[in-house]
Amino acid sequence: MEKETQYTPENSRDEQMRPELSADAIADTLSQELSKVVGLDQDLLHRCVEFLGGMKSQNVAAMLQTLKTSLGEQLLPLLEIMAQHDRAAIAELGIIGMGTVPSFKAAQLLADINETHADKKLRKAARKSLYKLKSVGIEVETTHKPLLRESKHLRYKAMISPIDGTGTQLIMLTQETIAGDLHFLQVVTSDEDGIVECSARRGMTKKMFEKLPENFARQMGSAEPMLVESDYDYAMSLALDAEERSEVIPDEYLTNKELFELAQARPMQNPVHQQLDAETLKNQPYFLRASEELFQNDDFLSWHLPIDEMGEYAQELLDQDDTVIELSPQFQHEQQEEVYQKIVEAAFDEEMVKRLQRRLEIMAFVLMQQGKEDDAKKALTASVTLNDSPQERLKDHPFIHQLISTSLSAAQYVIEDGYDPTEITREEYYLRRDEEGEVIVEFIER
């Protein structure tokens, strides 16, 4: 079983930045950290596990049960660290705790422990926890079966996520095994870097698979499902496209290409073109004008230009607003449009426009699968009309204009909040709208 990097003083944060740990505060510290949607502080979790090692086992078990009641599956990262600990007492508590977390990941971790751990007592604890999970319908293989290539698999279903502002998307292919469970392949792709990550697992039930979009949305803090069912051939086509752009292809992807039919797959056109008539949409000005409304959708808020690249332009507009000279609305508008044109020339080269076209086309399909036909039409119209927009007119394209506006709003927000935009990386924040519908920047705690 592969272990995570262990906590050491060398890779920890500065001591002054760490919360003080005590028997009274440890539960609150863990609750606050594990409640995060993203950006868990692994150093802090390792430090907490070391602290738990000095507490009485019954007290730790009681605290874990309390945390499990309030956090549910969010407790799993802590239990995983505990289960991998060198001290058997800590590891056993983590393994026992995993048996209370009804998730496929917990079951797979326990199965790995049962198959590979050197400690007989811990393997036994893992089997007990696996039995608990099996009793609530969660089961993975715990014994060796015939080689996968010798087992007959049947194509089941495919799912894809929306594509985000960095061009990243999750593709999931599933095959039904002869035993009735699902073998699934997860591929994380980037339209710049190709295949970024890949993993394959077996043991998911069909019932668990049906709940996957809802569970994934809950883990990511989304109000609605973030995965949609896709035409299987189209999902494979997206994976093949990413494979062609990859400089280095993950071994797990290459190992599973044949099993998941990727070796025989062929590129195919986005199915949205069979669902919607792009040429008709181009002749309906409403959908082009309304494409700016796509940014009311949380998925599109991530499509902004990075704050560190927008700082100088946002400051230029703020300086215009702060001038003591009274400017006419027309002059202010002209100045703003000049800033927009500067951004277009700096950020929207031919390759960037092509990427936006493809992303919009993919999102049109995702929106159709979500039952949002009007939004799908807006996305597809925005995509197909980008071809007709030369760079000197690109800022007037409603979708591009709103993309730039949203990007500038985010940069202005951090400037007015006292931050230096050039020091903010894209991984440190995300955008959302407040109750008044205004774009605000939320920083991710690390």
Per-domain residue ranges of the chain? 9-135, 148-268, 278-443
Please provide the average confidence, as pLDDT, over all residues in the chain. Answer: 86
Token representation of residue 330: 């027309």
pTM assigned to the model: 0.66
Reported as a pLDDT band with limits 50, 70 and 90, residue 223 is low
Reported as a pLDDT band with limits 50, 70 and 90, residue 14 is very low
Residue 323's pLDDT is 62
Asked whether the predicted pLDDT for residue 112 surpasses 60, the reply is yes
Q: Where is mean pLDDT largest: 68-77, 100-109, 420-429?
A: 420-429
Residue 322's pLDDT is 66
User: If DSSP states are collapsed to H, E and C, what string results for 199-264?
Assistant: EEEEEECHHHHHCHHHHHHHHHCCCCCCCEEECHHHHHHHHHHHHHHCCCCCHHHHHHCCCCCHHH
Question: What is the percent of the chain with per-residue pLDDT over 70, rounded to a whole number?
Answer: 89
Reported as a pLDDT band with limits 50, 70 and 90, residue 133 is confident
Residue 325's pLDDT is 61
Asked whether the predicted pLDDT for residue 114 surpasses 90, the reply is no
Average pLDDT over residues 364-378: 96
Lowest mean pLDDT among 88-102, 105-119, 130-144: 130-144
Average pLDDT over residues 308-322: 88
Q: Do 377 and 276 form a contact (C-beta atoms < 8 A)? A: yes
Residue 307's pLDDT is 95
Asked whether the predicted pLDDT for residue 12 surpasses 70, the reply is no
Lowest mean pLDDT among 80-84, 217-221, 307-311: 217-221
Residue 221's pLDDT is 65
Q: Where is mean pLDDT largest: 1-10, 361-370, 384-393?
A: 361-370
Average pLDDT over residues 22-47: 83
Q: Do 75 and 68 form a contact (C-beta atoms < 8 A)? A: yes
Q: Do 110 and 123 form a contact (C-beta atoms < 8 A)? A: no
Residue 38's pLDDT is 65
Sheet holding 228-230, edge to edge: 194-204, 182-190, 168-176, 154-160, 228-230
pLDDT tens for 137-186 read 787 654 444 444 444 678 999 999 999 989 999 999 999 988 778 898 99
pLDDT tens for 329-366 read 787 788 889 999 999 999 999 999 999 999 999 999 99
